Chain A
Amino acid sequence: MDPFILSFAVVNGLLQGGIYGGIALGLSLIFGVLRVVNFAHGSFLMLSLYLSFWCWNLLGIDPYLSAIVTVPAMFALGYFVQSVIISPLIRRERALVVEPLSALLLTCGVFLVLDNVALMAFGPDVRSVQLSYYLPSLMLGPIPVNIPRLIAALAAILVAVGVSFWLRHSHAGRAIRATAQNRDAAAMSGIDVPKVYAVTFGLGCAILGLFGALISPFIPATPTIGLAFGIKSFIVVVLGGMGSIPGSIIGGLVIGVFEAVASQFVTATSAAIFSLGLFILVLLVRPAGIMGKA
């Protein structure tokens, strides 16, 4: 294989992988703390894409600036979904042990409602932000690097570092980590567990709010766009280790580069089969993922 094409593939893979990783962060965080597999993860991203689009379309807000709107809005939505829809389930189960399957089903219901409410409200048409300015590609030697994608990929790493730091060093972060480790003990030491859950869920969605704004310059909004990213996020999170923040980024980069390089040898459909196969293999051989504790 031509070394130029191969290095081009690796660059593409790293960019796309960073974006996958950033989008998967929220899924991993929510699972790590609540043990809830959020089937509606992609739907939240879809909503933030729409939000960013409407900010630009109706209010003329630049998609990057629209993060000021999307991040708090998605936090609020996440907080609401957790405290109104999922928390009754947690309250019902004794000792705050959520039956993972019930939570999965519940978020499956959220997914059906959100995707189809979006279809009803926004119609089936594809919509997309158009930047008023032109961001030229950065030339990495002979390889063009798309600036908006680079911004999103770098933001993924920054957010991952920021969230890890916040979880480690802030009071709220410590409360979240304590709850993740042992909810009963956390509750007994005075931590408001339902609130921690709602904040965590909100935070997971707020990260999606940010990425919705960051990818809106190059990813169109449709009512079904969530599913494509949702499935990718599951693969990334399983690969990196469910619940691990750095794992999410590493999982994203691995799957991004893997797909980019594999695609040069086989068709995209076969590459899709390979990455699903990789996903199954990781679950069977090392369910904790690359970064998870085995």
Chain B
Amino acid sequence: MTVSTIPLDRTAPVGFSKGPALALIVLLLAAGLPLVTQDSFFIHSAIMVLFFAYMATAWNFLCGYVGQLSLGHAMFSGMGGYVSVLLFTTFGLSPWLGMIVGGLAAAALSVVIGYPTFRLKGPYFTLTTIAFAEIVRIWVENTDTFLGFHIKGAEGLVVPMVGESFAAFQFGGKIPYYYIILGMLALAILATLIMERSKLGYCLKAIRGDRDAAEALGISPTRYTLTAFAISAFMTALGGSFYAQFFRYINPERNMGTELSIDMALMSIIGGQGTAFGPLIGALILTPLAEVTRGYLGGTFLGLHLVIYGIVLMLAVLYFPKGVLEPLKNLAVGLFRRRNPA
């Protein structure tokens, strides 16, 4: 573990000074995109990329920094979506408030689940998260009403159209949704950057490096990992709410299923887990890749895009264990150094 932290330290100063500036430029470029093109399919695809980048960033907040692989995060996404939609359809509560409530509920659930399971190591933790998420999904699929709320089982929930209204999270075009998810992603990355530099971030790094040593230094692994888990679940739930409002339809199979969890993890891992921008890079690579293979080959070769996913994953694990962000960064640093010889 100590060996692997050396390259991180070497690039850290570069990332620290140039990182926020670079992020600002990227953000401004992204914000300007709708000025260049209003093409609906392009904006739609961009929203999907940003959505997955956001979800991967939320996953990364916990898993990337604690070094635990959760394949159950979809349950938080589903919870966020369900709570915000149910509050909207039952009480007319604005989804903006509903998504906060959903996020808090997901955070509470994460603490309940996380408290006993964080002692589990490696694959044991992963398998437990899958099991928890499957329990939640199967239960929702087979429950019609719960506490008086009509959760409608496997049928899923439809968000009724009420016309364009900011309070109802319903807009005519796609561009408002684009800015909302862009803002959410920017906040999530910002939260990650702040966390990295906070006590929480240092403690998580210490716990990841050597849990026992960290404990000996007086760092409570449970406290810090649970804090990160709760924040990660909260962010994931907000993403789930966004999905529900954007598509105005959610069901347990998609919004709580293992596939969504795997997608979140894959993008983060391939991009570079434990880095603020890795998940974004992962989503930028994988989402268009899936779209292109599906669009041009999906009708001919069934499942080809998933084969490519699998191969990319294997190559990434074998050759870019820290994600593709690291070599990209080194490349950028190399170019930078050549231009300005020290």
Of the listed stretches A157-165, A178-186, A253-261, A268-276, name the one at the interface; the rest are far from the partner chain: A268-276
A-B contact pairs, 28 of them (CB 8 A): A37-B126, A88-B318, A89-B317, A89-B318, A100-B123, A101-B67, A106-B313, A108-B262, A109-B311, A109-B313, A110-B310, A116-B304, A116-B310, A119-B302, A120-B301, A120-B302, A120-B303, A120-B304, A120-B307, A123-B302, A231-B130, A267-B142, A279-B127, A280-B131, A280-B135, A283-B117, A283-B124, A287-B120
Among B137-159, those with CB < 8 Å from A are 138-139, 141-142
Query: Of residues A105, A270, A277, which shows the largest number of chain B Cβ atoms within 10 Å of its Cβ?
Result: A105
With a cutoff of 8 Å between Cβ atoms, the chain B residues found around residue A110 in the complex are 310, 314
Q: Is the interface on chain B under 10, 10 to 19, 20 to 34, or 35 or more residues? A: 35 or more
Query: Of residues B120, B135, B301, which shows the largest number of chain A Cβ atoms within 10 Å of its Cβ?
Result: B135
Q: Are B116 and A112 in contact (CB under 8 A)?
A: no
Given A105-B269, A112-B313, A276-B131, A284 and B117 contact (CB-CB distance below 8 Å): yes
Among A76-98, those with CB < 8 Å from B are 85, 88-89, 92, 94
The reply to whether the CB of A113 lies closer than 8 angstroms to some CB of chain B is yes
Q: How far is the CB of B60 from chain A (nearest CB, A)?
A: 14
Among A214-271, those with CB < 8 Å from B are 223, 231, 234, 238, 267, 269-270
Q: Are B313 and A279 in contact (CB under 8 A)?
A: no
User: Among the listed B121, B302, B307, which residue makes an inter-chain contact with A112, where contact means beta carbons less than 8 Å apart?
Assistant: B307
The reply to whether the CB of A75 lies closer than 8 angstroms to some CB of chain B is no
List 3 tightest A-B contacts by C-beta distance, closest first: A112-B310, A116-B303, A109-B314
Q: Are A102 and B317 in contact (CB under 8 A)?
A: yes
The reply to whether the CB of B326 lies closer than 8 angstroms to some CB of chain A is no
Q: Are B262 and A104 in contact (CB under 8 A)?
A: no
Complex Cα gap A105–B310 (Å): 10
Complex Cα gap A105–B319 (Å): 13
Q: How far is the CB of B297 from chain A (nearest CB, A)?
A: 10
User: Among the listed A105, A238, A280, which residue makes an inter-chain contact with B317, where contact means beta carbons less than 8 Å apart?
Assistant: A105
With a cutoff of 8 Å between Cβ atoms, the chain A residues found around residue B127 in the complex are 37, 234, 238, 279, 283
Q: Which residues of B contact A (CB under 8 A)?
A: 3, 67, 69, 116-117, 120-124, 126-128, 130-132, 134-135, 138-139, 141-142, 262, 269, 301-304, 306-307, 309-314, 317-318, 321
Query: Of residues B3, B142, B312, which shows the largest number of chain A Cβ atoms within 10 Å of its Cβ?
Result: B142
The reply to whether the CB of A68 lies closer than 8 angstroms to some CB of chain B is no
Q: How far is the CB of A104 from chain B (nearest CB, A)?
A: 5
The 8 A CB mask of A112-148 against B (1 = contact, 0 = none) is 1101110110011000000000000000000000000
Complex Cα gap A104–B318 (Å): 12
Q: Are B142 and A280 in contact (CB under 8 A)?
A: no
Number of contacting residues on A, CB 8 A? 41
Given A109-B317, A110-B314, A104 and B123 contact (CB-CB distance below 8 Å): yes
Q: Are A109 and B310 in contact (CB under 8 A)?
A: yes
Given A238-B127, A283-B120, A277 and B307 contact (CB-CB distance below 8 Å): no
Looking at chain B's contact residues, is the secondary structure mostly helix, strand, loop, or mixed? helix
| Chain B residue with Cβ nearest A223 | B303
Among A31-67, those with CB < 8 Å from B are 37
Q: Are B306 and A280 in contact (CB under 8 A)?
A: no
Q: Are B303 and A119 in contact (CB under 8 A)?
A: yes
Q: Which residues of A contact B (CB under 8 A)?
A: 37, 85, 88-89, 92, 94, 100-102, 104-106, 108-113, 115-117, 119-120, 123-124, 223, 231, 234, 238, 267, 269-270, 272-273, 276-277, 279-280, 283-284, 287
Given A119-B302, A283-B124, A105 and B141 contact (CB-CB distance below 8 Å): no
Q: How far is the CB of A256 from chain B (nearest CB, A)?
A: 18
Q: Are B310 and A113 in contact (CB under 8 A)?
A: yes
With a cutoff of 8 Å between Cβ atoms, the chain A residues found around residue B69 in the complex are 101, 104-105
With a cutoff of 8 Å between Cβ atoms, the chain B residues found around residue A102 in the complex are 317, 321
Q: Are A106 and B128 in contact (CB under 8 A)?
A: no
Q: How far is the CB of B260 from chain A (nearest CB, A)?
A: 15
Given A106-B317, A112-B306, A113-B307, A273 and B135 contact (CB-CB distance below 8 Å): yes
Complex Cα gap A117–B307 (Å): 7
| Chain B residue with Cβ nearest A106 | B317
Q: How far is the CB of B279 from chain A (nearest CB, A)?
A: 15
Q: How far is the CB of A133 from chain B (nearest CB, A)?
A: 35
Q: How far is the CB of A134 from chain B (nearest CB, A)?
A: 35
Q: How far is the CB of A206 from chain B (nearest CB, A)?
A: 23
Q: Are B311 and A113 in contact (CB under 8 A)?
A: yes
With a cutoff of 8 Å between Cβ atoms, the chain A residues found around residue B121 in the complex are 100
With a cutoff of 8 Å between Cβ atoms, the chain A residues found around residue B123 in the complex are 37, 100-101, 104
User: Among the listed B128, B262, B303, B312, which residue makes an inter-chain contact with A280, where contact means beta carbons less than 8 Å apart?
Assistant: B128
Query: Of residues B126, B141, B262, B314, which shows the largest number of chain A Cβ atoms within 10 Å of its Cβ?
Result: B314
Q: Are A104 and B126 in contact (CB under 8 A)?
A: yes
With a cutoff of 8 Å between Cβ atoms, the chain B residues found around residue A270 in the complex are 142
Q: How far is the CB of A122 from chain B (nearest CB, A)?
A: 10
Q: How far is the CB of A117 from chain B (nearest CB, A)?
A: 6
Complex Cα gap A115–B306 (Å): 9
Q: Are B134 and A106 in contact (CB under 8 A)?
A: no
Complex Cα gap A106–B69 (Å): 13
With a cutoff of 8 Å between Cβ atoms, the chain B residues found around residue A272 in the complex are 138
With a cutoff of 8 Å between Cβ atoms, the chain B residues found around residue A112 in the complex are 306-307, 309-310, 313
With a cutoff of 8 Å between Cβ atoms, the chain A residues found around residue B304 in the complex are 116, 120
| Chain A residue with Cβ nearest B127 | A234
Q: How far is the CB of A275 from chain B (nearest CB, A)?
A: 9
With a cutoff of 8 Å between Cβ atoms, the chain B residues found around residue A123 in the complex are 302
With a cutoff of 8 Å between Cβ atoms, the chain A residues found around residue B116 in the complex are 284
Complex Cα gap A88–B313 (Å): 15
